[in-house]
Amino acid sequence: MSRRTDSEGRAQPSEKPIRKYWAESPLGKYLNQSSRSDSDRNCMACGGYGNERAHIHALSYGGSNLPSNIHMLCSICHHESEMIEGYSYWLWLICKASLFHGGSDMTYEMDCKSSSDKTLVKYQYASEYPEKLKEYAKEYETLSIMQAWEIPQPMALIYLSNSSRFGFTFDEIDLDEIRKITEAPLMKKTSIHMTDEIWNGVVNA
């Protein structure tokens, strides 16, 4: 992978400082649970093996090579995320991390490898999958929509700050922490005050 420099002449960091940054960040809890250690090699979105450096705000749009602007993703999630930015990106990431484990959203259970080998391994447990579809319906709906369209920034912001009201299972995200590190101009321009009209329309519908 090319170690392209940013506008300040910084080269892309290696994987270790990126993972260390997010393991220590307050926003790390929103990443996939199998990627929260700085020693993991998993995708921060789906939890599968992922070692591609993906810029949150693209280098081509002025993004930096600081660890706070890079997530480690698998090739599939990297491709999915390339056209998503701002609050919509964070909504996509959190929905994906909520649904997937080890690169799959299939339900599973842990059981012994055999009667003689008590090593715990993961087995598919498909009978629980329909219930998962119901419980995480809003996350699935959102990811499905985002395969073809980007959710407008004000709407994504409302979803992130009022997740439970809209049926999401994840906790409201700490928007202040995102704003501390964001490099996307559109996120700086989109404030909660700009969403009043949309919010009033939603709650009065």
Cα–Cα distance list, 47 to 31, 44, 103, 158, 176 (Å) = 9, 6, 5, 26, 25
DSSP E strand stretches across 63-141: 70-73, 108-112, 120-124
pLDDT score, position 124: 59
In a domain, 5, yes or no: no
Evaluate whether residue 143 is within a structural domain: yes
HSE (CB half, 13 Å, CA atoms) of 148?
3
The verdict on residue 80 lying in a domain is: yes
pLDDT at 89: 95
Neighbours of 183 (CB within 10 A): 18
Give me the average pLDDT of each 10-residue run along the chain (205 residues).
74 93 94 76 92 92 94 96 92 96 78 68 70 94 91 91 93 89 73 52 50
Total residues found in the chain within this entry: 205
Q: Is residue 10 part of a domain?
A: no
Residue 34: the pLDDT is 80
pLDDT at position 1:
41
Looking at residue 113, its pLDDT comes to: 65
Mean pLDDT score of the chain = 84
Residue 182's CB: how many other CB atoms inside 10 A? 19
pLDDT score recorded for residue 71 = 96
Q: Is residue 122 part of a domain?
A: yes
Rounded Cα–Cα distance for residues 67 and 183 (Å): 12
How far, in Å, CA of 45 to CA of 93, rounded? Answer: 6
Q: Can you give the residue range of the structural domain that contains 172?
A: 15-203
- Tokens describing residue 186: 């559109």
The SS3 assignment for 108 reads: strand
Whether 7 is covered by a domain: the verdict is no
Give residue 122's pLDDT: 56
Number of domains in the chain: 1
Tell if the pTM clears 0.95, that is, is over it: no
Q: How far is CA 47 from the centre of its chain?
A: 10
Q: Is there a domain that residue 3 lies in?
A: no
Q: In sequence order, which residues have a C-beta less than 8 Å from that of residue 29 and are 6 or more positions away?
A: 36
pLDDT of residue 38: 61
The structure tokens listed for 183 are 């490099």
Instruction: Give Cβ neighbours of residue 8 (< 8 Å, ≥ 6 apart).
Output: 64
Say if 177 falls within a structural domain.
yes
